[in-house]
Homo-oligomer: A and B are copies of this chain.
Amino acid sequence: MRSEKNNEKSFNMELFFAALADNTRLRLLNLMQDTEVCVCYFVEVIGTNQPKISRHLAYLRKAGIVAARRDGIWAHYRIMMPKNEHAARVLRDIQEWLKTDKVMQKDRIQLAKVCCAPQPPVSIQGAPRPQIAMG
């Protein structure tokens, strides 16, 4: 996609679909299906460096697909339904789509494991647990 200002008047379809055209971002959305998720869990489950996750989350934020909540040193991200009804419909369809994908299912199981483990990995010890890990 070529750069273009995100006009307030009309929803930017290009930006919306560009945000969805990346496997890491789809995995992030998948992990946020049922609840907000702390950034550190994304890093743990996706298994990559933290700046990469942060950048992709920023991309989703700028596209109006997710919202962030700060809680002290922790940042929690959640899916935010676009006001545009058509975009919202597509996003809901995508959520259902992701639920049927084997790799995405694995990711959600992995999130549940990491969150509910009695002895979490050292890298995320003390991280805030999401209320619900899976649907």
Interface contact A90-B86, CB-CB below 8 Å? no
Range of interface residues on A (Cβ < 8 Å):
20 to 34
Query: How many copies are assembled?
Result: 2
Q: Which residues of A line the B interface, CB within 8 A?
A: 1, 10, 13-15, 17-18, 20-23, 26, 86-87, 89-90, 93-94, 96-97, 100-102
Return 29 A-B CB contacts under 8 Å, by A number: A1-B21, A1-B22, A10-B101, A10-B102, A13-B20, A13-B23, A14-B21, A14-B22, A14-B23, A14-B26, A15-B21, A17-B17, A17-B18, A17-B20, A17-B21, A18-B18, A20-B21, A21-B21, A86-B93, A86-B94, A86-B96, A86-B97, A86-B100, A87-B97, A89-B93, A90-B90, A90-B93, A90-B97, A93-B93
